[in-house]
Every structure is written in C-alpha cells, then in structure tokens.
C-alpha cells in the first residue's frame, strides 16, 4: 500500500470521526436549546486524554476514537444522575416532541452534512457530463483486455458478467495496440470527429475488417482491425434500465472495438449544484433504505467471502473497508468520488441510527412515542396512566441488539481484511 493511499485512508477516517463529532454536537446543541442539562461531551471511549469544562459541560477526548457520546441527565426515568435542584431539567420530564428533536438531531446532522458534501462536489468539482459525450472528440480513456461476446447476467451480483482474459477473446483495440490518450481520427477511410459518430460506425461494422486511424503524441497511426460481433443493449433502450430488466428483445448484434471514451467534464456552479445535490440526496436515501432492508440476505455473502468465495461488490463494508476504498480513491485522484462515498456513509449512519431499536437513537424515540400513545389510549379508556417504560426490563433485548450489531461489525471487518472489495477501475 503506497503512501498516498495511506494518506487517503487517514483523511477518510478523520472525515468519519468529524461526522461522529458533529452527530454528538447535534444532540448537545438541541438539548441545551431546550434547557436540558448536558454534563459531558466526549469524542472516543475509554480513558480521558484531555478535557476542559465550560459552564456545566465537560468537553474532551478519550483514548479510543471509536465514536462519541453526550451525557444528558435523566435520559430515562430510571437514571439516578439527577440532583433535586436539577430535577426539572431531566430529559425524561420534557415533552415528547422535544425529546424526539434531541434524539433525532444527530441523524439530522448527518443528513445535512451529507447534503453539504454533495452540494460542494456538484457545485465546484468538474464532473462527467454524459449529455456532451456524443459530440466529444473520440479520445480513448481505457482499452479493454478482452470482450464478452454474449450478454450474460450474474444472478449473484445482478451485473453483467465481465470478460476473463485468456478465456474470452482479446479486444480488437488491444490487438492493434490502442492506448489511453489516443484520439481516433478516421474509421474505414472516413474522418470522425465525434464519439457518437464513431460509436455508430463501429456498431454497424461488426464482422468486418476496416482501417482505423488515430493520433498519438502528434503522430498518426493506422491499422487494419477486425471487429467481432457481440450482443449489446440497443441504443434506443433507456440507459437507466437495470441490467436485470434487459430482455432478449432489448439486445442486438453489433461490432465492438473495446474502448471507453474520455468523458467531457462540466462545473455546475453553486446554484445548479443545489438541484443536483438534492436529486442525489433523494437517490442515496432510497439506496440506503433498500440496503438496510437487504442486510440479512447479505450476511451469507460475507461469510462466503471470508472463506475464499468471490466478494460481492454490493456486500456491506465496515468503516475499515470504507476507509480503504476512500484511500484508494484519493490515491487515484478521484476526490469527488471520495467525497461522495463520505456523504453516502453519513446518510447510512443517519438512517441506521433512526431504526427503532435500543440502544440506537431511534429506539429512544420509539419508546417516547409508545409512552405517549399508551397514555392517550389509557386516558380514553378511563384507566390510570401506566407511566414510563422501565428501561431495565428492556435491557435483555438491548443486549441482544448490541450482540447482533457487534457480530455484524466484526463480520464486515473480517471480510474487508481477508477479502476486500476491489475498485472496478
């Protein structure tokens, strides 16, 4: 692992730690705004390395940077950390909507932070502009080693089966020695200046031999190239169609050269970036909810990967795995993708924390509203208020949740160490 990748891993880890710090700051700020008493705000766990006290709150850093916490007195009726003079400031005594705001504030911070990261990326980073691709110069970005002549979908990954060098035929581009950076200037004796025009000609020339001309470092090169015929999705099919929904009727036999284009890039600016960030935020929320729903079915994939099976690129990753991927992206200069990954992690953590399970924030919110609904129902039935939920009775279930979460955490870390997800580029 090179030094630049290690720097990227460290930066991504710092980004995660900063996100956690802001998460806890969200809880702290909301609690103080409502008049609750917060006595401690710490980043990390274990022995205290450094702290200071400002007002009634102690702020500090602990030895293990594995999270953070805010101590608000009276978070449950069973807490015995409230003095008589502060009894009115105990969290459990506040209206349920205020307690909900305080507990949800951490996740809201993640959502805001994720949106701001996306806004910065979509506003100021040069991003691929596929709308301009067809009119862009036909400059080569990548050359495929091989080509898959048949359209196949891997049922495990839901993606197109990649070709395997040595098993599948070498691409025509590789055979004639095309390289990244080459600009194709003519095909079959006809000049080409746009990627869309070149694509149409190549697709129409399957099974034939033609002369390809390109420029490299100011010099012109030509070669005879025989284009194989392969099954590909018709160009009139919506490019956003999931590959698992592509049917035989959507395919056609076309010529393939085996190159990818240099995609033109555009900077959107801060105004247009708002809409792009909002659209991507909605997409990430949908993806996060879908990913959480599929977590149980992904566990066998992680176990298989640990014991030598192929690692599914759609399988869950731990903070360790995400940091390594972030480091590799940073080393390759893919800073926008690095930041988008960090935004995606914020959305995931924000949604995950709202699951109605103790000890997550969503568990506290669920209990608060359960108490509210139960009190309302008992009042309508003319029965005495049953009072607050006894958190001590919830502890066995809480321990089960913690055990499952810890097991899943260790499983993903192990998979990320012994069989990490590899970038597809």
- Residue 198 near residue 226, CB atoms below 8 Å: no
Alpha-carbon distance values, 345 to 5, 93, 290 (Å): 19, 34, 14
- Residue 302 near residue 412, CB atoms below 8 Å: yes
Query: How close are the terminal C-alpha atoms of the chain, in Å?
Result: 17
- Residue 318 near residue 349, CB atoms below 8 Å: no
What token pair was written down for 26?
Answer: 């969200």
Residue indicated by tokens 């049953």? 386
- Residue 94 CA to residue 330 CA, distance in Å, equals 46
- Residue 192 near residue 137, CB atoms below 8 Å: no
- Residue 253 CA to residue 256 CA, distance in Å, equals 10
Phi-psi map region of 86: left, alpha, beta (phi>0 left; psi -120 to 50 alpha)? alpha
Residue in 136, 223, 211, 243 with CA at minimum distance from that of residue 179: 223
What token pair was written down for 253?
Answer: 């036999």
Residue in 352, 388, 414 with CA at minimum distance from that of residue 94: 388
- Residue 409 CA to residue 286 CA, distance in Å, equals 23
Q: Which helix (H) or strand (E) holds 274?
A: helix 270-306
Active site residues: 24
Q: Which helix (H) or strand (E) holds 186?
A: strand 183-187
- Residue 206 near residue 197, CB atoms below 8 Å: no
- Residue 171 near residue 186, CB atoms below 8 Å: no
């Amino acid at each position: 692992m090179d030094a630049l990748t290690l720097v990227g891993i460290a930066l991504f880890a710092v980004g995660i730690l900063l996100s956690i710090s802001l998460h806890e700051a969200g809880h702290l700020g909301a609690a103080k705004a409502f008049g609750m008493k917060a006595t401690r705000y710490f980043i990390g766990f274990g022995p205290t390395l450094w702290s200071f006290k400002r007002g009634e709150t102690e702020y500090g850093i602990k030895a293990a940077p594995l999270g953070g916490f805010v101590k608000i007195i009276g978070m449950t009726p069973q807490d015995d950390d409230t003095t008589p003079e502060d009894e009115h400031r105990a969290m459990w005594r506040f209206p349920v909507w205020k307690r909900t705001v305080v507990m949800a504030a951490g996740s809201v911070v993640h959502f805001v932070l994720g949106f701001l990261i996306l806004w910065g990326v979509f506003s100021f980073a040069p991003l691929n502009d596929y709308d301009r691709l067809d009119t862009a110069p036909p400059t080569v970005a990548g050359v495929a080693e091989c080509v898959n002549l048949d359209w196949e979908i891997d049922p495990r990954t839901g993606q197109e089966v990649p070709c395997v060098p040595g098993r599948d035929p070498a691409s025509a581009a590789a055979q004639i020695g095309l390289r990244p950076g080459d600009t194709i200037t003519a095909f079959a004796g006809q000049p080409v200046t746009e990627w869309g025009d070149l694509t149409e000609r190549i697709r129409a020339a399957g099974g034939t031999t033609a002369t390809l001309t390109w420029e490299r470092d100011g010099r012109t090169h030509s070669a005879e190239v025989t284009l194989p015929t392969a099954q590909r999705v018709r160009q009139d099919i919506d490019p956003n169609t999931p590959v698992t929904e592509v049917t035989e009727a959507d395919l056609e036999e076309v010529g393939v050269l085996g190159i990818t284009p240099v995609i033109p890039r555009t900077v959107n600016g801060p105004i247009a970036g708002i809409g792009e960030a909002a659209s991507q935020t909605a997409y990430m929320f949908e993806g996060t909810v879908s990913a959480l729903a599929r977590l149980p079915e992904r566990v066998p994939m992680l176990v298989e990967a640990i014991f030598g099976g192929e690692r599914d690129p759609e399988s869950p990753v731990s903070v360790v795995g995400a940091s390594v991927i972030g480091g590799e992206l940073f080393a390759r200069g893919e800073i926008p993708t690095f930041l988008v990954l960090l935004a995606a992690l914020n959305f995931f953590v924000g949604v995950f924390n709202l699951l109605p399970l103790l000890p997550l924030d969503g568990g506290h919110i669920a209990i608060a509203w359960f108490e509210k609904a139960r009190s309302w129902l008992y009042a309508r039935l003319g029965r005495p208020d049953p009072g607050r939920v006894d958190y001590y009775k919830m502890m066995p279930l809480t321990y089960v949740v913690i055990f499952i979460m810890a097991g899943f955490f260790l499983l993903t870390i192990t998979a990320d160490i012994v069989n990490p997800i590899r970038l597809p580029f």
